[in-house]
Structure 1
Amino acid sequence: MEQSYIIIYQGDISDLEDSLRNNGIEEFIILNDQLASIYPPLGFQESRLNDIKEISWWERSSPMSSLIKITDNLNEGETVRTAAGTDYIYKNPNISASGKKVIIVIIDSGIDYLHPDFINKDGTSKIVSIWNQESNKGTPPKGCVFGSEFTRDDINKAIKENDPSLCEDRTGTGTMAAGIACGNGNLNSAYEGVAIDSELLIIKLREYKDTYKTGKINYEMSDFLAAIKYVVDIYEVAESFMVINLTVGANPRATIVATMLDSFGRLSDWGITIVGGAGNEGNTDIHYEGRITDINETQDILIQVGDQKNLEIDLCLSGPGKIGAGLISPSGEVSYTIKYAPDYYLYKGKFNLENTLYEMRVIYPWLQSGTQELIINLRNIKPGIWTLRLYPEFIISGIYDIYLPNKALISEETRFIDPVSTATITLLATVDNIITVGGYNDKTDSIWIGSSKGNVRTRASMNVVAPAVDIVAPGVDIIGTYKDNSYNTATGTGVSSSLTSGVMALIMDYIYVQTDFSRTSLFTQPLKTYLMLGATRSEIYNYPNISQGYGRLNLQQTIIQIANNLE
């Protein structure tokens, strides 16, 4: 599969399109009035992007991983009804909320749309539409260049004919997320989802295999952002509210100002909200944090590499400093030492004894943080202890963070020798316009050990902006709808976000009937505030904190807090 890129452009779209085509780039998606995903052919020299005057900034698309792991533990699983506390809603004669007039968006591995839990009593589908990015059975959505869009009529026809060919879910994580959020429990009422009357919008992301390790599946940020464009297009014509459930995540960042999602202005509109899993990197050893205080000091960071094909190492600074780096292989070979240069040059080399190729690039400033990013890509990497050596050039705070790819994409043995579990929130969940949900373990009545932690720093100092996690929700062995007309259990912050997305659909339904109140409350910030106010907190902890945010999701208390503010 060709390398894809995300670009920020300037000027007329028609001029950009002409310039891309003149440079041999025929496949691209205009995401919004600032952003585009481009898909050059194999062999394309990315340095040519610097010569296209309409492109003001570009970066390679980055791999993303699922925040849901199927656990096959049905006998010991927890039902959604118990985990979310939905009996308070469905057994309360004074509350009629069930997620009506709300579309829940799932951007993941697809869906088993023939499962009875996604079929209404009249035989029609709960699904508004599907964009299967891997299908060539139909035509792509407007403005897109790959995959097939299937309308509700297409899906209804396939249901009648028992035809599963529109969308296959090979891993089951997309089906699980949809079932937890709003499965109607037709096959087994004990396993119904949270918002049983909500509808679904499904995007099946393209799968990429063996990027870092053989057998591992990842998604790509360029395709994910194309999915967000499709969601916005659907929202503009739908007569429904929308909850976007983010169950895939990019690698974490400690210092962030904005993400690509911020360029989609409609995501801040009335009636649309985003819920994102915090990440599953709380105990995976993919983060290292350090500080350099002496300009003449070098520091060595040890990285244990297991059996895998490739690896990426990302160095991020806090504040406007500059740090160079080199890499030492297990056999003692030393790479080129890369330092800041204004030419955006890609340095290439080879460790001859290991037969490992490397690429090194400094980006200063990186658009999403305003600080330095130093990226090292290794191809055909060999197991052993690799040493990253840092060379300070210019120091302000001296604080830096180094990340490996998400653990779900690499070998279990690949890790920092001296890791830090904080500042591991997945990139897209770090900004304020997303309800960031960590994972809670009801079995132990404690935070789930894998749940990513804050903080997120400012770009200019080491000060903390926020804990990053807003609330936590049950995310361990939750029972949900699974492929092939079955149920299964799953764990991860993508499970927690799916549960919370269903809760948000119930809350939006509840608020909407309060006509005057809904005009000011159906925005992300007020909705997030009510979740925080209603959250369960323990007396033994201070809140907010980097693991639990403002506490544990509590649907009943959140509804009570909203009711107390009704006039």
Structure 2
Amino acid sequence: MTCREKILSEDYWELLLDYEPEVGSGQWEGADYCIAPVGDGISVVYYRMPAEDIQKLNSFFYYEIPKCYGLMQQEIGTGMGFDTFALADAGILQVQEPPLSLMGRGVVMAFLDTGIRYTQEAFLDAYGESRILSIWDQTLSEGEAPEDFLYGTEYTREQINEALRAESPRRLVKSWDESGHGTAMASAAAGSRIDGGRTFTGAAPEAQLVVIKLRQAKQYLRDYYLLPEGADAYSEADIMMAVRYAERYAVALQRPLILCLGIGTSYGSHTGTSLLDRYLNAVTGRRSRAAVICGGNEGASGHHVQGLSTQGRTQMAELRVGDGGRGFLMEVWSEAPSRFSLSVRTPGGELVSGIDGRSVRVQEYRFVFDKTLLTVRGTPVEESSGMRLLLLRFENPTPGVWTLTIDVEALLQNGIRYHIWLPIDTFLGSDTYFLRPEPDTTLTEPSMASGAISITAYDDESGGFYEKSGRGFTANRRAKPEFAAPGVEIPTSIGRRTGSSLAAALAAGAAAQMMQWAVVEGNYPLATGRELKYYLALGAVRESGTSYPSREWGLGKINVQRTFQELAGLF
């Protein structure tokens, strides 16, 4: 098989490496695999494994198994028509007008999502030509892949324009956004001004677009994470490849790049140390680069508990498991150094006690009166974060209330913090939640990446925080998010949408405006994402009585107009 065929085959698993292995050497000698480099020393290995033996994944390091990410649009809105209230509340609309006239001109915005409905007027310029520079559709295999990439089909702007002139555009450019999530984000962030902005406009209506349609995660990952059938799930490996594609495209054009991600996951340490975080940090550390990432919609989901354990103190967490669903993967993280054990009681009263959090053995537990299979895997020091990790995989869990008892022997006088996360809402096939949850530290990855501009959502009509939006800080108590942006009932080219992904879309448009002013117009040509954070922090709206940085608001509500009012005295 060719490497392209291996990447597409369900018989080949994706594994992430934090090095670029020498072909045919070491553990890979004699193995059936192919390697695709990502960058910054990261590679993806496509490795032949028997699909039915899913437990073999437990023989790999935690960080080597790609995490699955889901979409962060929470609701389809009920409002009708178009208005610019959200854009005005964020100070975006005001700086589109003279004298600044910041429309994202000269900036490339990349959307890593579900694709785009490229025929819409919101993505055409005044001459009817497409503002989309390219589409890389990872789901299509019959066309030509991008240069230096081994799968998917790339459509250039010339091909898109040719399709727009054809009677049946989709016969020529077959990529399409079936769900609408990517289209909604791209139009809110960078939709064209239609009828002078009276009918529609996005935040950066003259930016040019690069679109990556992510392919769905392979079945072995869906089985490992016990995802519901039909759930939209995207592999960390494909997301990193999408970032690489966008970065290489911007390098070739010598243009500023804004990455916009409306996806997230609750898998991981929540410290910003995953391989995807690391790669995003590397890209955004370069000149003229920034990544704007939504903080997720897990704040009111009931999927997180945390605690501070001291010597000899026992704590309990009660988990209500709903009917239906295949099960779920739950992660228990604690700071090092610590020793802890876990006990699990089923709804029927059966008890598994003394699960050692230091053990590296994979342990399976079956119950007499329940059909649940509980698989436990310990990692004394997780390789990326340095934290202690205990994975609990509940397969066919019995509905009812499960009780987790945690005994932590803290080796530090001030105690040890621990966190337990369930998967994001769309990855749970049942109504499952903790009875006494903790809404803080519910930002989704990769918004914890230190180089990213992380965004939570608020309602611009009421001024209140969107209750479902994720909250900071990180698990190692680093200040996140950076800012809040409007994310409720946001007008898009396919109707109103709500969720932190829409807040990230508007914030990405604001970042494109800033990049136009700084780099394209030469006011600060060496700007990176760090400088954009600083500029936006200057104008952020902060309320009296709230301490900043805030777990909900970060450094405040984005307001680009106020940013330039502050900058007026500096430049």
State the secondary structure of the residue aligned to 1:499. Answer: helix
2:304 equivalent to 1:287? yes
Deviations 1:62-81 (A, max 9, x none): 22111123414232875354
Q: Is the 8 A contact 2:39 2:279 kept in 1?
A: yes
Change (3 A) 1:427 1:408: same
2:420 equivalent to 1:402? yes
Residue in structure 2 matched with residue 167 of structure 1 by the alignment: 175
In structure 2, what is the Cα distance between the partners aligned to 1:48 and 1:446?
A: 47
| Counterpart residue type for residue 179 of structure 1 | S
| Counterpart residue type for residue 389 of structure 1 | T
Deviation at 1:401, TM superposition (A): 0.5
Change (3 A) 1:83 1:409: farther
In structure 1, what is the Cα distance between the partners aligned to 2:149 and 2:365?
A: 37
Equivalent runs, 1:468-507 vs 2, <5 Å: 468-482=480-494, 488-507=495-514
In structure 2, what is the Cα distance between the partners aligned to 1:87 and 1:158?
A: 32
Change (3 A) 1:35 1:417: same
2:9 equivalent to 1:36? no
436, 449, 471: which one pairs with 2:454?
436
Deviation at 1:234, TM superposition (A): 1.8
Residue in structure 1 matched with residue 95 of structure 2 by the alignment: 89
| Counterpart residue type for residue 93 of structure 2 | D
Residue in structure 2 matched with residue 201 of structure 1 by the alignment: 210
2:170 equivalent to 1:158? no
In structure 1, what is the Cα distance between the partners aligned to 2:12 and 2:473?
A: 32
Change (3 A) 1:2 1:413: farther
Equivalent runs, 1:202-241 vs 2, <5 Å: 202-208=211-217, 211-241=226-256
In structure 1, what is the Cα distance between the partners aligned to 2:82 and 2:431?
A: 29
| Counterpart residue type for residue 360 of structure 1 | V
| Counterpart residue type for residue 311 of structure 1 | F
Deviation at 1:449, TM superposition (A): 0.8
| Counterpart residue type for residue 245 of structure 1 | C
527, 539, 547: which one pairs with 1:542?
547
Deviation at 1:58, TM superposition (A): 4.5
Deviation at 1:217, TM superposition (A): 2.2
Deviation at 1:527, TM superposition (A): 0.9
Deviation at 1:349, TM superposition (A): 3.6
State the secondary structure of the residue aligned to 1:131. Answer: strand
| Counterpart residue type for residue 34 of structure 1 | G
Q: Is the 8 A contact 2:14 2:45 kept in 1?
A: yes
Residue in structure 2 matched with residue 101 of structure 1 by the alignment: 106
Residue in structure 2 matched with residue 562 of structure 1 by the alignment: 567
| Counterpart residue type for residue 436 of structure 2 | D
Q: Is the 8 A contact 1:214 1:309 kept in 2?
A: no
Deviation at 1:548, TM superposition (A): 0.8
In structure 2, what is the Cα distance between the partners aligned to 1:56 and 1:121?
A: 52
Change (3 A) 1:87 1:32: closer
In structure 2, what is the Cα distance between the partners aligned to 1:63 and 1:421?
A: 22
In structure 1, what is the Cα distance between the partners aligned to 2:119 and 2:560?
A: 30
State the secondary structure of the residue aligned to 2:544. Answer: coil
2:366 equivalent to 1:350? yes
Structure 1 window deviating more from structure 2 (195-204 vs 227-236): it is 227-236
Q: Is the 8 A contact 1:424 1:453 kept in 2?
A: yes
Change (3 A) 1:552 1:417: same
In structure 2, what is the Cα distance between the partners aligned to 1:252 and 1:14?
A: 30
Change (3 A) 1:132 1:257: closer
Q: Is the 8 A contact 1:130 1:151 kept in 2?
A: yes
2:82 equivalent to 1:67? no
Q: CA RMSD of the aligned region, Å?
A: 2.8
| Counterpart residue type for residue 390 of structure 2 | L
Deviations 1:355-406 (A, max 9, x none): 2223221123223321111111122223221222324355432210000001
Equivalent runs, 1:277-316 vs 2, <5 Å: 277-295=294-312, 297-306=313-322, 307-316=324-333
Residue in structure 1 matched with residue 118 of structure 2 by the alignment: 113
Residue in structure 1 matched with residue 137 of structure 2 by the alignment: 132
In structure 2, what is the Cα distance between the partners aligned to 1:402 and 1:50?
A: 20
Q: Is the 8 A contact 1:255 1:317 kept in 2?
A: no
Q: Which runs of 5+ in 2 are unaligned?
A: 1-9
In structure 1, what is the Cα distance between the partners aligned to 2:104 and 2:301?
A: 36
Identity score, percent:
23
In structure 2, what is the Cα distance between the partners aligned to 1:514 and 1:224?
A: 31
Change (3 A) 1:140 1:324: farther
State the secondary structure of the residue aligned to 1:447. Answer: coil
Deviation at 1:201, TM superposition (A): 1.0
Residue in structure 2 matched with residue 267 of structure 1 by the alignment: 284
Deviations 1:256-290 (A, max 9, x none): 25232324533311100011111211111110012
Alignment TM-score, normalising by the size of structure 2: 0.88
Deviation at 1:33, TM superposition (A): 4.3
Deviations 1:488-521 (A, max 9, x none): 1111111111001111111111223553x4134x
| Counterpart residue type for residue 505 of structure 1 | A
In structure 2, what is the Cα distance between the partners aligned to 1:470 and 1:240?
A: 24
Deviation at 1:179, TM superposition (A): 0.2
Residue in structure 2 matched with residue 365 of structure 1 by the alignment: 381
Deviation at 1:328, TM superposition (A): 2.6
Structure 1 window deviating more from structure 2 (494-503 vs 135-144): it is 135-144
Deviation at 1:545, TM superposition (A): 1.4
| Counterpart residue type for residue 117 of structure 2 | D
In structure 2, what is the Cα distance between the partners aligned to 1:155 and 1:433?
A: 33
Structure 1 window deviating more from structure 2 (155-164 vs 439-448): it is 155-164
Residue in structure 1 matched with residue 151 of structure 2 by the alignment: 146
343, 360, 377: which one pairs with 2:393?
377
In structure 2, what is the Cα distance between the partners aligned to 1:369 and 1:303?
A: 26
Deviation at 1:250, TM superposition (A): 1.6
Deviation at 1:230, TM superposition (A): 1.8
Change (3 A) 1:243 1:42: same
Change (3 A) 1:65 1:182: same
Change (3 A) 1:219 1:239: same
Residue in structure 1 matched with residue 5 of structure 2 by the alignment: none
Change (3 A) 1:30 1:332: farther
Alignment TM-score, normalising by the size of structure 1: 0.88
Residue in structure 2 matched with residue 485 of structure 1 by the alignment: none
Deviation at 1:169, TM superposition (A): 1.3
In structure 2, what is the Cα distance between the partners aligned to 1:48 and 1:212?
A: 18
State the secondary structure of the residue aligned to 1:112. Answer: coil
Q: Is the 8 A contact 1:305 1:382 kept in 2?
A: yes
In structure 2, what is the Cα distance between the partners aligned to 1:405 and 1:57?
A: 16
Deviations 1:463-495 (A, max 9, x none): x332x111111000000122xxxxx11111111
In structure 1, what is the Cα distance between the partners aligned to 2:456 and 2:267?
A: 14
Residue in structure 1 matched with residue 200 of structure 2 by the alignment: 191
